[in-house]
Structure 1
Amino acid sequence: GLILRGEGSRTSFGLIGNTLFWMVVALSALTVWMLLGTWRHMRRRMEIQRTLMDETQFRRAMENSMLTGLRVIDSEGRVTYVNPAFCAMTGFSEMELIGRTPPYPYWPQDRMEESNRLFQQEIQGRSPAGGVEVKIMRKDGSKFDARMYVSPLIDAQGHQTGWMSSVTNITEAKRVRDQLSAAHERFTTVLEGLDAAVSVVSVQQGDLLFANRSYRLWFGADAKGHGVLAGDASQQAPSSIDKDDLVDSFGGLPTQQLTEAGSDTREIHVDSLQKWFDVRTRYVQWTDGRLAQMLIATDITARHKAEEVAAQQAEKAAVTSRLVTMGEMASSVAHELNQPLAAISNYCSGIVSRVKSRSIEDEDLIAALEKTARQAQRAGQIIHRIRSFVKRSEPQRQPARAREIVEDAVELAAIALKRRRVIIHTYVAPRLPTLMCDPILVEQVLLNLLKNAAEAIDNAGLPISRRKVEVRVVQRQLEDEGDVVEFTVTDGGPGIPDGVLERLYEAFFSTKSDGMGIGLSLCRSIIESHRGRMRAENIYNDSEVTGCRFTFTLPVELDPDYVPTTRSDPPLDLITDSP
């Protein structure tokens, strides 16, 4: 059998007590250390779990709040995840989409083949990086345009587990894009259809940024035509100067001030095309932010030709008017010429008679011949003035003196006024500025006004006290015209009826039975062509009309190169012809 036997020996009591004490202390310390480690581990684990939950909730909230739809499929094409935005886009719930394989319920029935082709392209990893535009059908059958971007789905071990697609609804963006595209197409069509040349050139680089059909037709596809039309100084730069050495004239200037400035308008003649262009330029900021110059050049060749024809017709009308005036004054001119011619005839007859009878001394013969010569000179002066007045010449603006214009007009008009027993008073202010005008045309206006005044007085049968015409020329400063020289013709005639005053300058309107109605209309056209103004008014004494006043102005344009010439005849401050 088994026999157990125990033996003991007596030990020291203090030794046993110390051993047990230290064993208890060691076990207690170990227990505390293990508890502290467990507590730290639990706290760290709770923090990690809390962080993971926060991150998961954040990612979930981010996915739920995204307007972009997210869809995940595995390598076999099975849907494994969709976010709420994708469900909201398609109208399908998450339960209706998870686990579905092609054909997906959001594929349009009429685009199955195209949708399947895009799916195969996605599975094979050949989807373009820029995305692809797709058509998606909602649960209610409606469709919308979307852009889908596909990227591989990689797990934590770096293995691809499927494909993630982000889907954006681009229906509104596409609508806006289509509208912008249509507007751009319409705008381009309008620009291409314009008869005017439109071009845009970069200011710094000089590159042609845009040119429409008319520009390309006239100037080709480079910026040289733009420079010609704009009068670009760089087009005339010497060839020996390197373009890199040219300083940009716009450097440092604020772009906003340039683009907000108004357009510049000018008329340019292009010799190579034999065309006139109305050119308008302004600075714009191009789509890439560069400062550019936009130019619109309209072909105005036809207008220039029409203006030339109109000027020629106006010139012919002026010549015709002068001829008509001389025709109306023919009897007066003939009467005026008859006097010196009769005197010449008498002198010649007397000389012949006395020479035959040998009863004339040399001194008497010389005196008679001198008188004959003076009468011949007088007749020649009359003919010269008429010839200068009616001869055909191109309108030519030149420096002219108002005093000389008045003298020449009065010299011609005095013949008709004397025959009608009308007195003319003329006052020309001293030290008048030089005028830049066509003196013959202005003289024609003045002569027409004087002739009309004399006819009105004579036809009305007025007494001697009212048979007067006054011409005054003074310098004035007008608010709406500036510095001008004012010509005034005032008569003591019956005045102008109100109905006639309103139609006074209408072409072919005349109160005379034999009048052509071009006199005053032509006069106003001549004055306005000199940038002056013409007006007429009646003179009243209480309610009674006591005369008429015609006034026209010519602007003062000083020519520093003009030196006034002194005429041989005496200055005309006051001329009085007795009736």
Structure 2
Amino acid sequence: MRMLVPGFEALRRASWVLPLLLALAFAASVAGWLRHSDARDLEEERLTLIADTLSLEARISDWLTAEHAVVDRLALQLPRRVDDQFLLNHPDVAEGLRRLWVGVTVLDANNRVVAHVPHFVPQATPPRERTGVSLDDGGVTAHWSADRPGGGRLIVRFAPTALLRQTVPWWLSQKYDVRLVDALGQRLAQTGSDEAQAGTQGYRISMDPAMRETWLELNTRERHVPWWTTLAGPLMAVFIVLSALASVMLRRQMREVRRAEGEARTEAAWRRAVEDSLTVGLRGRDLEGRVTHVNRAFCDLVGYSAEDLLGSLPPMPYWLPDDMEDSLRRHRRNMAGGAPREGYEARWLRSDGRIVEVMIFEAPLVDAAGRQIGWMGSIVDISARKLAEERERRQTEALAHQARLSTLGEVASALAHQLNQPLAAITGYNAGALRILERTGPPDDMVMEALRRLGEQATEAGRIVQRIRAFLTRRAPQPEVCTMADIVARVLALLKRDLRNLRVEQALPADLPPVNADAVLIEQVLINLIRNAADELQARPQPAPRPHIRISAMLVGQRFVRVDVDDNGPGLQGRGIEQLTTAFYSTKPDGMGMGLAICRSVIEAHHGGMEAGTSALGGARLSFTLPLAEQGPRASVPQDTRQENTP
């Protein structure tokens, strides 16, 4: 920040030139707009010129086409023998001479003149001059030629000047200079001035096929005046000069203001240095509770700048939303002068979302006349002290809890040792009862099946007790080759009563390779995960979608199998596997916080890992990986074979 202050100060000192720069920018924008407007006007004038030229060319072409048709018809109507008097008396010839024609000549097959009528205009119908049109009556003419039946030709000459007189409208001749020129640019006929003036636009279009090697040319008569030669140019120059004078006066005024500000800043800097040297936050408020002063320590404490805090009224931005009523009550008490002299504790919310514990001391703020004008508060951050006290309390609770768990482990180990003999006796008595029933005669099938299942369950209970005892005495797991399908089947059989109201789905590949694991310990891990999911599903408020648990497994890479337990419950709510498997952490009111921690220890003892995430069913997913059993080459894993159990 200190490196930026000189640059900012230099920029502020040069701010007097900003109005002049803005005036120049405004003048430049106006000049650009005027230039663009000139270009747009020129383009519109050119488009209009092109349209008028095309329209006039079509009009002249239509006129010439009609005249040519009259010549062709006259050539067909004339008899074989014709003389000058016959041509002169022919109605089409007389009408053509009255309109446009200059002369009519009849040639025989040998191109000899048979009859010829010179230019003739009857006195009864003199040509009518159009207003505003000045035509050049030079000797340049054009002609049409038509073949006669039986040989010979009819040639009719006409004047381009008369053509323009007949076809150019009066309004067009006032707006443009119209010319007919040949291929070399020589003028054949025209209206208006002889040469195009500077600053005008022109457009030329071919008259072919109505008049071969002839072009129609239109030139505008009004000259285009650039914008800078109009009144706008001097006005913009005067505007820029006045802006420069105003900037000079502003610079002089700013120098005087900076001199006064420098003196005030020197005095304020001394006072601010004293306040900023303190580690205690200072907050000044008026009698209405409006913040009038804060020091740097207070801003660092709440995470807001002084500009954000000065002038603010309750509720303050650093008050906790949940404690808003208590904060308002304390504020009213302090404004009434009831703040404790020994101070009081409060919890504030920093701008970054972190909660800080503070101790506040309030005292009246008195002016030089002895009148109270507000309150001055001293704020001390006691978050570190509170955190140390909380840490010490938790360590004490953790030590007590660990002592209880240690005692519980010893009791569990002793209990497992004591249960071995009763379980062995149950197994022995059950085997003896089976042999006696088999010797005494045909036994009841239902009784025999019940006794066999009793023996299997007693044997399984003995295996579980032995493995739990081994795990509690810190012995390594006893891995063996087993299949996940068998483990899942045994777990679901044991949890049949707990899962009777839930939909349980299995998604296990048919040819999933076997794993190398302690089946009993892995069963306990699965039991813990499934029971946790069932507890979360049964604790949901009603009505809710039907509880759904899915157990799936898949091959991961070439060395591991991953087992997923999914549910459609409320999910993990942002908790990760590290938090869930922390010792003594539990989301259940009566939980010990050791279930998932022990599960993770069992999986890591098998060289696997645990993960937590979001399930495709919408709830939570807890997964663990187990190593594959060493065997020959494995076949590719086929599509899943799904099985659904609804206890």
Whether TM-score is above 0.5 comes out as: no
TM score, norm. by length of structure 2: 0.29
